[in-house]
């Protein structure tokens, strides 16, 4: 998948980034982007513990490879406040 904000020619010089998403009101929204996986996962866990009305969080690794950007979910967590099936179904959305 091509990442729209970075030109493919820049992909060779980029390192992986970790996007922190929150699931609210039926959709995933980017909350933050970090360079460190452990920090991003820690932030996701902390946000899930303290945020009211937050159904789920996920951290997605975005890695440049061969002029394209590949994404993979490296952490997923949900609260007891939401039907987990809805959030899981939207992971790939």
What's the pLDDT tens digit per position in 28-76?
A: 999 999 999 999 999 999 998 887 778 899 999 999 988 899 999 999 9
CA 33 to mean position of chain CA atoms = 8
Task: Report how far residue 17's alpha carbon sits from residue 32's, in angstroms, rounded to the nearest whole number.
Answer: 10
What does the pLDDT read at residue 51? 79
Task: Report how far residue 89's alpha carbon sits from residue 40's, in angstroms, rounded to the nearest whole number.
Answer: 22
Contact at 8 Å (CB) between 60 and 69?
Answer: no
Over residues 1-36, the pLDDT tens digits come to 444 554 444 444 568 999 999 998 888 999 999 999
């Amino acid at each position: 998948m091509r990442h729209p904000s970075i030109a493919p020619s820049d992909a060779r010089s980029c390192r992986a980034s970790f996007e922190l998403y929150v699931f609210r009101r039926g959709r995933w929204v980017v909350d933050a982007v970090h360079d460190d996986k452990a920090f991003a996962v820690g932030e996701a866990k902390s946000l899930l513990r303290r945020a009211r009305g937050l159904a789920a969080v996920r951290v997605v690794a975005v890695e440049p490879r061969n002029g394209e950007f590949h994404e993979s979910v490296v952490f997923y967590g949900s609260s007891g406040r939401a039907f987990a099936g809805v959030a899981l179904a939207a992971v790939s959305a």
